[in-house]
Amino acid sequence: MSNKHRVVVTGMGVISPFGAGTDTLWNAVKEGKSAIGNITLFDASQTDAKIAAEVKDFDPGLYMNKKDARRYDRFLQFSVAATKLCMDDSGVQVTDENRFDIGVAIGSGIGGMMIFEKTHEVLMNQGPSKVSPFFIPMMLANMPAGMAAMNYGLMGPNYCVVTACATAGHNIGLAFQSIREGKVKMMLAGGTEASITPLSIAGFCSMKAVSTRNDEPQKASRPFDKDRDGFVMGEGSVVMMLESLESAQERGAKIYAEIIGFGMSADAHHFTQPHPEGLGAAHAMKMALKDAEIEPEKINYINAHGTSTPIGDIAETRAIKKVFGEHAKNLVVSSTKSSVGHLLGAAGAIESAACILACRDDIIPPTINLENQDPECDLDYCPNVARHTKVEYAMNNSFGFGGQNSVLCFKKYI
């Protein structure tokens, strides 16, 4: 381990369904609030699911000029805003001397869905000559990473891994590896998503993947509850500054927590359903623990993938028990998707933020709406009320369609 660089988190920028800012998100999830309500971004009267966790009252003009804002898809507006908040929070000053030492890994599971749908309408109604020249670049999933580099002159590694709901986890994990191996000193890493659109909602409804508890939006996302009926889509972006400990100490940066391990795997099972026994998920958790060089018993808290789907929650529970054995009964698991919904490609970033803040503050955010626990989900899911308890080590699980799994381990920085 001595030849590896320790990696810490020195900045975070959050645009969540609760609003802008890390404290806004953290205070809301700790208090067990729900950001889920009726869809207002489009007329959802004809869809089976009429609810989502939208980012309300978002003003892109606070983070970029109005001309750029008009060109950008919503998912890119979110990432530009989250990146600015992260850069401001980190205190990093980009210079000609360090710009090659700062990279970017920001992903999106779906990309510019809004601009895609709107541009198709233009094509059908007005013809090909009216299609915007910005359509192609602004719908691409890699554009948030590219735009972050352009806005701040960052000339280190720049990429976007796309693995559906595991996207942000993979981007954070690979960024962590780059710093640990000494290839770069800092990386902006995270995810962004804005897919609350007619086509996206219709597609997920056709799959029977989303909740249709339209009469009780704030109770619709209920991971590990016997009455769960699917996930609730959310939107937003979280970007964090990962940095070598030496670099952070040299510039006197504040440190939120340390990243110590990353694991990934494939289910090799089905294009949407997880392996029913959680074999791939379990392997990714084992690989993250091995990478972190810690025993399973060290983990105090797992922020679960916990989507509130009938199959997924059971499979993840089985995976946790495979990895942790008897210790599974002692650790605490929760799903913040119960509060903010499922941010798809940004889920791993917002949930990693919850792990980082749990380590910093020794507070585990609750799984809200857990009123009638599924007998097959038989772990401690921190139901409904936050728990004040020591959190030295935390784990975040992210599992994507296609059976692509990413797991991150975090440690309290002392």
In the structure encoding, which two tokens stand for residue 43, read together?
A: 């007329």
Q: Determine phi and psi for 187, rounding to 5 degrees.
A: -140, 130
- Tell me whether strands 51-52 and 37-38 are parallel, antiparallel or unpaired: antiparallel
| Number of CB atoms found within 10 A of residue 98's CB | 17
Give the integer Cα–Cα distance in Å for 133 and 150: 19
Q: Is 327 a catalytic residue?
A: no
**Of 11, 17, 397, the residue nearest 194 (C-alpha):** 17
88 CB-contact burial (10 Å; exposed 0-12 / middle 13-18 / buried 19+): exposed
Q: Amino acid letter at 300?
A: N
The answer to whether the Cα torsion of 316, 322, 325, 327 is positive or negative is negative
Catalytic residue among 305, 359, 377, 409: 305
The rounded distance, in Å, linking the Cα atoms of 80 and 64 is: 8
Cα separation of 247 and 178, whole Å?
14
Residue tagged active-site, from 342, 355, 359, 377: 342
> Distances in Å between the alpha carbon of 213 and those of 197, 203, 271, 273, 279?
18, 17, 25, 21, 31
Is 165 annotated as catalytic?
yes
Bridge partners of 49, per DSSP, are none
160 contacts: CB under 8 Å, gap ≥ 6: 105, 106, 107, 108, 141, 142, 144, 145, 171
Q: Which of 165, 355, 359, 382 is labelled catalytic?
A: 165
Is 5 noted as a catalytic residue in this protein?
no
Element spanning 240, H or E: strand 236-244
Residues 30 and 314: their CA atoms lie apart, in Å, by: 25
Number of H helices, E strands in the chain: 13, 15
| DSSP state for residue 120 in the 8-state scheme | H
Reduced 3-state DSSP string for 333-371: EECCHHHHCECHHHHHHHHHHHHHHHHHHCEECCECCCC
Residues tagged active-site: 165, 305, 342
